[in-house]
Every structure is written in C-alpha cells, then in structure tokens.
Chains A and B, each alone.
Chain A
Amino acid sequence: MLKVLDFFNYARSKSPWIVHFCSGCCSLEMLAAMGPRYDWERYGYIMTPTPRQADIMFITGLVSKKILPALLRTYEQMPEPRYVMAIGACAYDGGPYNDSASVIKNMTEILPADVFVAGCPPRPEAIIAGLEELKEKIKRGEPSASSQGGLWKQMKF
C-alpha cells in the first residue's frame, strides 16, 4: 500500500502543471523558460489555462495590492495538493520596489512559498532549477508551506 502511495507521489512530482497567472515582469523569463532554448516541457511542466487543473502557482515577481485578491482567489481555486513557487526579488520583499507603497512587501508571509528563486528577474535556468527542487518536495509527499500557515487564511478574498 505504501508503495502505491509512493508511486502516486512520484507521478505527481513528474507532472507539475502550472497555472497561468502573471502579476509582474518575471513572467517574461517564464516565457523564455517555455521557449525553445530552455523548454521546460522536457521535464513535464506545462501551463494550464485554468487554475482548476494546476498543481503549482507562480508568484511572478511583484504583487501589487490590487492584484492580491485575484492572486489569492486563483490559489484558492486550485485543487489540493497545491504548491506555490515565488520567483524574483519582488516576491520576497518587494525587491527594487521595496520603498514603493503600492507593492506588497511581505508576500511570503501572506502566501508562504515552497521554493523561492532569487534574481531580478531570475534566469530561466534558475526557474527550472527551482522547479526541480519543488519536485523533490512533492516526491517526498511533504505538505505545501501555504497549507501550513500564512496570513491568507485569515483574509477575505
């Protein structure tokens, strides 16, 4: 029985589908990661049009206050188990927009990310490497960080 469950975790880690949500400039490097040179489909990643079929959500760089409710809503629409990956300095502490008050600086507190990829913007190789790390986490069957806590649970959206 344990072996079967392991296989399901393994299958889950091998086919991560990513929801198409773009809130900042880093999505441009995601586009490059999709493109011919980096081609993340080799590893099985694809973009899905709706959150209903996705496993991973990207926080692509900055999250402004106005888009946050939409982001959380999209996350809420994803089926369990769901994981969050934050890319770009902005998703961690605001990055270059750290002193702009219209950008959210504590995104990792609101929606904790499982993997954070540094860079402004991170290179496509870095994004893929971050996803590979997330795969390991899924393979071990660990619950996602955002299901464990985060301010988003108390928020209305």
Chain B
Amino acid sequence: MENIKNILNKFDMEYVEDYKPTWVKAKLKNKEDILNVVKALKKEGVKTCSTISPTDFIDENKIEVNYFLEDLFNKRNVWLKVDIPRELENCEIDSITPLMPSADWHELEAYSTFGVKFKGHPNLRYFLISRDYYGKFPFRKDFDWKEHEKNLMQNIAEITEEYFDEYEEYEENVGHDGSRTVLNWGPTHPASGPIRLKVYTNGENVEKIDPDIGYVWRALEHLAERKDFIGTIVAVERICFMDNPNPMICYSQAVEEIAGKEITEFAKYMRVILGETGRIASHLISLGGFFGTMGLQTFSMWCLDIREYFLDVLEDYSGARIATACIEPGGVRYPLNDYKAWFESINKAIKKFEDTKDDITDIFMKNPLMNTRAKGNGVFTLDDVAKYYLAGPIARASGAKIDVRIDEPYAAYDKLEMDYVTCENGDARDRLYIIFKELQQAMDLIKQAMAKIEEGISEGEMDPKKDHLIKMPKRMPAGEAVARVEWARGEMLMHLVTQEKATSPYRLKLKAPSVNHTMVLDKLLKGKTLSDIPLLYGSMHICQGDLDR
C-alpha cells in the first residue's frame, strides 16, 4: 500500500488517502497526467481496471471520472478521480485501454452515456445504447428523457433502419462467392438469449466475433436516480434475477457506509444465508446451461429440480421466488418469526442436492464426451485474468485466488471458515468444475451461518424477531461510497454518490462482471469452429441482464 501511495504522491494530487483496508483514494489535479499515473501504477502491479464511472456534477460544471484500478493478486486497489470539463467539445481524456485492455468496454460505455471522449481508444464508438440515443448522452443530468420519449415510434424506426443498413453492408462486403459469411448468432437464436454475436465465419471456422449488446438495456443506473433509497432496491435487484440477493447486499452496504450505520450481527448472518442461496440458485442454472449448450437437457432439468428447493427457501422468507427484495439498507427486510421452520427448509434443500450429488458426479462431471468437448478448450491463463479482468468463477478456474468474500470481507464472511476454491487449467471444463465446487462451498457456508445464528439465539445475543433491521435515516448526508460483493458471476462493484439531504441517489454506477466476460469472447472464439460458440459462450456464464443493465 505504501508503495502505491508513494507513486501517487509523485504526481500533482489534490489528496491521497486510505479508504477501507484495501483501497487508496486519490484525486488527480490535471487530467493530462492520467496516462503517466496509470503507467506507473501498472509497473507497480496494478494491472487491472475494474470500471470507469463518470459522475455528472452539473452545478459545478464538471464531470468527475472515477477509475477503479485493482491489483488482483496482492489485493491493493486504487480509486483514482479526475475532473474534466463538462462541455461536449472539451469533455475528453486520454484512454487507458492501450495500457489496460480491461477498460475497453467500460470506456465505450462512459462515452456513450456521458459523452466523455477517450483520446487514443482503439475503436471509440457508440455502444450499449440504442440507435436513437446516439450523440445524446442519456445519463447526463440535462438530458430530457420525457422529451425523448415522445418520438417513440420514430426512434424505433431509426433502430430498424440501422439493421437494414447493416444487412446491406454485409451483403456488399461479404458477397455470395466463397465460403465466407456473417452469421447473426442471436438475439432470436435458441441458445443465445438477448445478445447478438456477429460471427464472421469461413465455412465452419470462426474468424471473428463482434458482440452487439444492449438488447435488454434498461438504463438501471439512471432509473436509480429517480427512486428513493429503498425504491432503488427494485432497480438494483433486477440487474439479473438468477442471483437476486447479492446485488442488494452490495447496494445496501454502499448506503450504510454513507449513512454511517452498522447493521446487527443477526442481519449479517442472514445476508450470508440469503446471498449464498442466491448464488446456489444461479450456479445451478449455469451448471445445467453448460450441458444445455451441447444439446443435453437432462442435467439442466436435474439442476432445475434442485433449484426449486432453494427457491422455496427464498419464498419462505420473502414471499417471492426470484424477485425477493429481501435485503434493504439497514439489514434484511423481514423478521424471522419461525427460524426453526426456515432452517428446516434450508436443510431439506441441501439434502436434496447431496442426495443427487453422486449421480451428478458419475454421469455428468466425468462424462467422456463432455471431456472431449471441453477439456483444453478455451484456456485462460493468469495473465489473461489480470489483463481482461475476468472475475469470480472464471478467474478462479484459471487458478487465480480472487474472492471478494475473503479479500474484502463483508456481511459475516470474516467470521466463517472459508478458503479460495480454485482449479488449475482454466479451460472450459474447469469453468464447469469450479461452479460445482462453489456450490458445495456455498452450502457449507450456509450451514455455518445457520449454526452461528442458532448459537446466538440460544445465548440470547440475537433476536430473530427484532434484530433484522436498524433504523436508517430518510435523508442521507452527502457522500460517496464504493461497495463490492462477490456475486455469482464475479465481482460486483457499486459506486454510490449522494448529495446533502438527498432522498435519492445522485449517481449509482453498477459494475457487473459479464461485461468483461463478453469482451473476451472474440479472443476466446477466434479460430474455433461454430460448434464451440455455444459451449464457450455457455462456459463464461454470461447473463445478459447484468451485461446491459
């Protein structure tokens, strides 16, 4: 940490201070220095850019760009801020993509939504937003959404026009001679979900992949700015329904940090249980989906069977199967009136999994044809992890010891026994195995947390009927916070900015891992065959919900 501070102090900084145990927060005075700072940090080992989050301060006529840079393997993170002018023609800064490829799509996103021009970006273009927002920068505070919405039909016609243009362009460029063509893999493809991969193929061989995203873009970051602090939960939990509780934990932490509140022990353990249940529900879909991409539905059906029992757990607690809204700033939403019955249903779900575990291992995890397809296919090395910031299970499959639950413990994870779960090879098969291992780890964590709660209740330290929520202020003080959680697909980072006496967030940046995982698809699939697309795409466990937000 000291090294990083020394490096930062060499430059012209407004301040350099510690923030949380693993972060250094610094503000740069001149935007011209950014490349040199990043270069120096990269030499020190901070090789990864988690995300880039501009904040539009319209009153002060500036845009503050936040860089979240991470040293993944030594757990040292830098939060670098720099002010740039707000006028569109001057709103520019040097691109760090040539130094840190992981920043690529995050810069494009910042450009499309805020109009921050990144000089030197290899391919600066509009991205994520639909055609009608091109050049309008919708996340700026002075963008008039109501006005924009009036021309709905015309906007849709514009979007359609773009598709036709693109089609004609392909027809011209590719032509009908030879074996080259462009396939649209999605958004109506049986295995794709709402994403489009433009696959440039030569016969069966893939030459290039160009992902086109934004098909489920809901502008959640902007939606959050119009809701109050509790209502934002609705936007946040809808990042992706597969793992529902964890984004809420992340958001609640950010709010609690700004309000300066500490939640109760009971709520912390409850967050562990709910978060891990969400992880299990998500991982079971990922597991089944992996085989589903190779045309085998049996396993995904078996996984859905087990998943229903874990959804029952969520339903027993919150009343909803997947849109639970069960965690809010200040703790967890509902008291646990009959904790024994709830624990019983958790145990039932875990037993259901454990009964099936041997069959799953014998039939599917050791399946010879799966081995043929997935072993040694689509390998990521540790360098790739740092270069593109692959997060969560994908990184751990390559042997990277990254886990926010251990690196920067939140909820009650520091009081539970857990270790990094890793695989060595980083191929598609390991990305399946790691999910299976993490399932077992998650169930172990749930058991530990349940034991702790039972212990706390019997000793009279916890009261499940009262301790679930502490009172949060209606109006927040001005502040800024960064919260991270280990989501089912990797690190989720939220950057929350509030203003004095605010009732709703001023800016909420959601960073979700699927962006980086989609970014590497081109590298992953180049030179492979058409059959590998669904397999490797499925092995990245991408959810379009958190890809587009």
Partner of A66, one of B152, B159, B223: B159
> What residues of B have a CB within 8 angstroms of the CB of A97 in the complex?
218, 223, 238
Shortest B134–chain A CB gap in Å is 12
Partner of B159, one of A36, A68, A74, A151: A68
> What residues of A have a CB within 8 angstroms of the CB of B133 in the complex?
102
Q: Are A25 and B545 in contact (CB under 8 A)?
A: yes
Q: Are B321 and A31 in contact (CB under 8 A)?
A: no
Q: With the chains together, A24 CA to B216 CA distance in Å?
A: 7
Partner of B215, one of A20, A66, A151: A66
Count B-side interface residues using an 8 Å CB cutoff: 50
Q: With the chains together, A130 CA to B523 CA distance in Å?
A: 44
Partner of B235, one of A49, A96, A151: A96
Q: With the chains together, A62 CA to B235 CA distance in Å?
A: 13
> What residues of A have a CB within 8 angstroms of the CB of B193 in the complex?
22, 27
Q: With the chains together, A29 CA to B285 CA distance in Å?
A: 12
Q: With the chains together, A99 CA to B219 CA distance in Å?
A: 10
A9 close to chain B: CB less than 8 A:
no
CB contacts under 8 Å to A, within B212-263, are 214-220, 222-223, 226, 234-235, 238, 240-242
B367 close to chain A: CB less than 8 A:
no
Count A-side interface residues using an 8 Å CB cutoff: 45
Also in contact, A99 and B223, with CB within 8 A (given A28-B241, A32-B304): yes
Q: Are A35 and B304 in contact (CB under 8 A)?
A: yes
Q: Are A25 and B149 in contact (CB under 8 A)?
A: no
> What residues of A have a CB within 8 angstroms of the CB of B159 in the complex?
65-66, 68-69
CB contacts under 8 Å to A, within B6-52, are none
> What residues of B have a CB within 8 angstroms of the CB of A37 in the complex?
304-305, 308
Also in contact, A29 and B304, with CB within 8 A (given A23-B194, A64-B218): no
In the complex, the chain A residue whose C-beta lies closest to that of B311 is A32
Q: Are B156 and A36 in contact (CB under 8 A)?
A: no
Q: With the chains together, A127 CA to B526 CA distance in Å?
A: 40
On A, residues with C-beta under 8 Å from B are: 20-25, 27-29, 31-32, 34-37, 47, 49-51, 62, 64-70, 73-74, 96-97, 99-104, 106, 120-121, 123, 151, 155-157
On B, residues with C-beta under 8 Å from A are: 129-133, 138, 145, 148-149, 152-153, 155-157, 159-160, 163, 187-188, 190, 193-194, 214-220, 222-223, 226, 234-235, 238, 240-242, 285, 301-302, 304-305, 307-308, 311, 321-323, 545
